[in-house]
Structure 1
Amino acid sequence: MLPEVKIPAGLPKTDPESIIHSARVRDYIFSKIDLAGGSISFSEYMHDALYAPGLGYYVAGMTKFGRNGDFVTAPEVSHLYGRVLANQCAQILDSIPNGSILEVGAGTGILAITILKKLGEIGQLPSSYKILEVSPDLIERQRKNISMEVPEFNSVVTWIDTLPADFEGVILANEVADALPFERFIRTKSDVLEVSVTYSDKNFIYQMRPAKDQLKESVLNIENQLDARLAEGYSSEVSLTLEAWGRDLITSLNHGILLVLDYGLGMRDYYHSERDQGWIRCHYKHHAHEEPLIFPGIQDITSWVNFSILARVAIQCGAKISGFTNQSNFLINSGLEKEFVNFKHLSTRDQLTLSKEIKVLTLPSEMGENFKCLGIQKGNLPVINAFSNGNRSHIL
C-alpha cells in the first residue's frame, strides 16, 4: 500500500555541493526521528526539509527561483503579472486612505519591484509596502534587488516578522500556501491511517500508523462535506496548517482584501474519487515530480491548495468572499490587455517574447487554469475587477 521511495527517472544529476548539504539535512531529520521514537509525521519532515534553521530549502541560501533555480513563479515569467496585479491593488487602495500592501513570502522581491514600479507610474503608491518573510537569506536578496532596481522606493518598503494588527490595504500571498506543511493519509475500510516518515539504511521511507485525532477528524469532515466515504486505499493530503495560516491573515486584516494566488482547487475537485494519490508536487532544477523523500533540503515540496478551507475560515472570521477564479480570468479582468497597447511598436523579437509570456500566464495548458486567485475582504470595497467575469465562488 505504501510506495517505494525511488528517484524518478529523468531528473538532473546532483552537484557535489548539493549532495553534501542534503546529507546534512538528512542527518538532522534522522536525529529528529530518533528523538521521536522511530518516526515523525510527514508535516514534521516537510517542515524541516524546507524550514530547518540554516538547513532547510527556503532558509539555507541556495538558489530556488528563476532560471538557475528549481522553479519559476508567475512574477518571474513576465513583468506583466506584477503590473496587472498592481492595477488590482490600485483599485482597492483607491478606496482605502493611507492603505498599505503586505506581501507574504516575497521570493526574490521581483513581484514587489514590479508592483511598485507600476504604482509609481500611475501615482498610486501605497503608504507602505510591507514584506513578511521567514527566510533570512531571502530577506537579504529582496533588500539587494529592491535597492538595485527601485532605490527610489527604499523608504516605502519595510520587512516585518509578525503580522500587524488592524491592517488596512491589500495582503498578497502569491505561491505561498502550497508550501505550508501538510499531512498525508490513507483511508482503509475501517479507519484512517497516517503516512509517517522513518528511515532505513540512510534513506527515508514511509511508514503507516494510526492517524492522530486531529487528522482523523479532518478526513471524516471531508467525507461529511463530500457526502461520500473515500474509497478503501484512497490516499491524499490534509493541510492542518492552512486553516491556522488563513485565520491569522484574515484576523490581521481590518479593512481591505487578502488575495491568495496559487495552484489549487475547491474541496470536491481536490478529493475527487479519481484523484486517489493526492496532489504532491516537488520541484528540482525545473523538473516536477511526486517524491518528497529524496533530496531533502535541495528540492521544493508542495501540494495543491484546497481553497475551500480558506473560504470556510473567511466566513467563520466574519469576512466576505470577493471572488474565486482562475489566473487567466484574473489577469484579463484586471487589465492585462492595457499592458500591451504598444505591442505593434515593439520589435519582432520583443513581440514574440511577450506573446510567449502571455501564453504561459493565460493558456489552460500552462498556468491559466491550474493557478487560481481567491479574494477575501473586510469592510466596504468596490466590486473587485478581478472577479467580474468567471467567478467560481460557488464551487467553494
Structure 2
Amino acid sequence: MSVDTTHITRSALSNLPTCDDIALTHSRKLQSVIRDAIASAGGWIPFARYMEYALYQPGLGYYNGGATKLGGSGDFVTAPEISALFGYTLATQVRQISDWVAGQNGAADILELGAGSGKLAVDLLQELERQNCLPRHYYILEVSAELRERQQHLLADKIPNLKTRVSWLTQLPDQFAGTILANEVLDALPVHLVKWQGNQCFERGVTWVQHDRAGEFAWEDRPIDNEALGMTASALSRLMTPEQQVDFSYISEINLNAAYLMQTLAGILCSGAAILIDYGFGQGEYYHPQRYQGTLMCHYRHHVHHDPFFLPGLQDITSHVDFSALVAAVENTDLSLLGYTTQAHFLLNCGATEILARTPAEDVQNYLPLANQLQKLVSPAEMGELFKVIAFGKQTTEPLIGFAGGDRTRML
C-alpha cells in the first residue's frame, strides 16, 4: 500500500473563494464524521464511501447541508437553470413517450430522479400544459430533504395550479409506466477510484494523516477486495496496450452505483422510456490512455478543481459518465437501447429552434437572451458536445424523435 498526502498543492487552491466561519465550522463537523468513519473502519475507507459522506451525509453533506448549489449564487449551473428552452424542448420527447404508453396502458406518468432546484419540473409541466398533454402524476425522487423543500416552494410559486399533480417519493416505485428522467444525476453518484499499475489493479481509498495538532485526508491504494469492482477493473484492462500494462500507472473511476441504478430501472419500468442526460463518453474515450488521471472534478462557487478533500460538504464532487457501462448493465434485461447522441442533436431533433421561434426575432429584448441561452445548450464549446443523451425503453412502438439525427451509438 502507499500513502499520498500531496493530492493537490496549496497554491493550486489559493485562487478559490474563501468561506465564512459558519461554513468552515460546518465543513469541519463533516470532516470529523468522516475521520471517525475512517478510524472505525481500521484507518481506511474506499473513496466511494468518502464521496457518499461528502455529498449525502444527513445535515452535513453537500446535498443535505443547506447551501445554495444551483444557479449564479451557487456552485454550478445546469441546463434547466440556463434556459426554460431545455424543459420546453424535452417536453416534445416526453409527449411522444406518453402517447405510446397511453395507447397501451391508458395512462402515462413522469418520474424525475434528483430534480435539483425543481426548475426542470416547472418548465416541463408548463409546456405539457400548453400542449394539453399533462401527465397523470409527476413523481420526484429526491434523496436530499433540503432540495425537496426548495422544489416544493418553487413549484408552489411558479405553477400553483399544477402542484397537486406532483408527488415526492423516498424510494423508487415497484412498477412504473411513462417517462423516467435523470438530468445530471449519474455524475453525482459515488464512484470507486481504481489505479492500474503495470498488470495489477488497486483501489484508491482515503485515510487520515495526523500532523502534530492538525491532520489531513490522504490517498492510500490497497489491493481490491470488492468482487464486482475487481471484475470490472480487470475487464477494463483490455483497453490498455501490452506496452502500457508493463509499465503504466493509470487512475480512473468505476461507477458501480450507476450500473445498479440501471438494473433497478430495468426492473421497475414496464412500459415507456428512461432518458438520462449527463456529461461523459463511451468506454473507449472514457478510459483513453491520455486520460490517465481520470475525470473526477469538484465544483465550488463556479470554480472547477480536482481536490475532493477541499472543504468537504461545501463543494460538489462529480465524475463523468461511462455510457458504455450503462448499456452493459442492462444487457441481460428486457430494457432496450433506444438512442445515444449529443445534447445538441437531441435538442435540435426535438425542435428547440422551432420553440425559440415562438418568440419573434423582432422582439429583440426577449429573443436575444433566449437565442444566447440556446447557444449555450447546443454549442460544441459549451454543453452541446460534452453532454450526451441516452435512452432505454420497453414496449416502444416507434423511434424516439430525439435521436432522429446525430446517432452516436457507434461510440458505445
TM-score tier, shorter chain, comes to: over 0.9
Shift of 1:190: 3.4
**Residue in structure 1 matching 2:188, options 175, 179, 191:** 179
Shift of 1:227: 7.0
SS in 2 for 1:151: coil
How many Å separate the matches in 1 of 2:226 and 2:144?
32
**Residue in structure 2 matching 1:70, options 75, 79, 85:** 75
Superposed, 1:175-254 pairs within 5 Å as 175-200=184-209, 201-214=214-227, 215-224=229-238, 226=239, 228=241, 231=245, 232-254=248-270
Superposed, 1:220-369 pairs within 5 Å as 220-224=234-238, 226=239, 228=241, 231=245, 232-345=248-361, 347-369=363-385
Shift of 1:124: 0.2
Name the counterpart of 1:6.
9
Change in CA separation of 1:213 and 1:144 when aligned onto 2, cut-off 3 Å = closer
Query: Does 1:395 find its partner at 2:393?
Result: no
Shift of 1:348: 2.5
Shift of 1:212: 1.9
Q: Indicate if the aligned counterparts of 2:356 and 2:371 stay in contact, CA closer than 8 A.
A: no
SS in 2 for 1:205: strand
How many Å separate the matches in 2 of 1:228 and 1:323?
30
**Residue in structure 2 matching 1:23, options 19, 22, 28:** 28
SS in 1 for 2:236: helix
Q: Which amino acid in the other structure matches residue 35 of structure 2?
A: F
Question: Greater CA deviation, 5-14 or 181-190?
Answer: 5-14
Shift of 1:143: 0.8
How many Å separate the matches in 1 of 2:397 and 2:182?
19
SS in 2 for 1:332: helix
How many Å separate the matches in 2 of 1:159 and 1:58?
17
Residue identity (%)? 38
How many Å separate the matches in 2 of 1:357 and 1:148?
23
**Residue in structure 1 matching 2:399, options 376, 383, 389:** 383
How many Å separate the matches in 1 of 2:300 and 2:64?
16
SS in 2 for 1:4: coil
String of CA shifts for 1:153-188, please: whole Å, max 9, x gaps: 111101111111221000001000000001112111
Q: Indicate if the aligned counterparts of 1:6 and 1:291 stay in contact, CA closer than 8 A.
A: no
SS in 1 for 2:257: helix
**Residue in structure 1 matching 2:135, options 122, 126, 143:** 126
Question: Greater CA deviation, 1-10 or 122-131?
Answer: 1-10
How many Å separate the matches in 2 of 1:280 and 1:363?
23
Query: Does 1:101 find its partner at 2:110?
Result: yes
How many Å separate the matches in 2 of 1:237 and 1:96?
36
- In the TM superposition, structure 1's runs of 4+ consecutive aligned residues that sit over 4 Å from their partners are 227-231
Q: Indicate if the aligned counterparts of 1:84 and 1:339 stay in contact, CA closer than 8 A.
A: yes
How many Å separate the matches in 2 of 1:246 and 1:290?
27
String of CA shifts for 1:71-117, please: whole Å, max 9, x gaps: 01000000000000011101110121110000000011100000000
Tell me the TM-score normalised to structure 2 length: 0.93
Shift of 1:58: 0.5
Q: Which amino acid in the other structure matches residue 205 of structure 1?
A: A
How many Å separate the matches in 1 of 2:386 and 2:317?
17
How many Å separate the matches in 1 of 2:254 and 2:90?
29
Q: Which amino acid in the other structure matches residue 350 of structure 1?
A: N
How many Å separate the matches in 2 of 1:300 and 1:10?
17
How many Å separate the matches in 1 of 2:215 and 2:197?
30
Question: Greater CA deviation, 350-359 or 280-289?
Answer: 350-359
SS in 2 for 1:235: strand
How many Å separate the matches in 2 of 1:90 and 1:212?
46
Name the counterpart of 1:154.
163
Q: Which amino acid in the other structure matches residue 20 of structure 1?
A: T
SS in 1 for 2:297: strand
How many Å separate the matches in 2 of 1:34 and 1:327?
44
Change in CA separation of 1:346 and 1:285 when aligned onto 2, cut-off 3 Å = farther
Question: Greater CA deviation, 227-236 or 289-298?
Answer: 227-236
The gaps in structure 1 that reach 5 residues or longer are none
SS in 2 for 1:159: strand
How many Å separate the matches in 2 of 1:37 and 1:45?
14
Query: Does 1:164 find its partner at 2:178?
Result: no
Q: Which amino acid in the other structure matches residue 4 of structure 1?
A: H
Name the counterpart of 2:57.
52
String of CA shifts for 1:13-60, please: whole Å, max 9, x gaps: 222221111011101100001101111110010000000111111012
> How many residues get paired?
395
Q: Which amino acid in the other structure matches residue 66 of structure 2?
A: G
Shift of 1:228: 4.2
How many Å separate the matches in 2 of 1:77 and 1:360?
8
Tell me the TM-score normalised to structure 1 length: 0.96
Task: State the superposition RMSD in angstroms.
Answer: 1.5
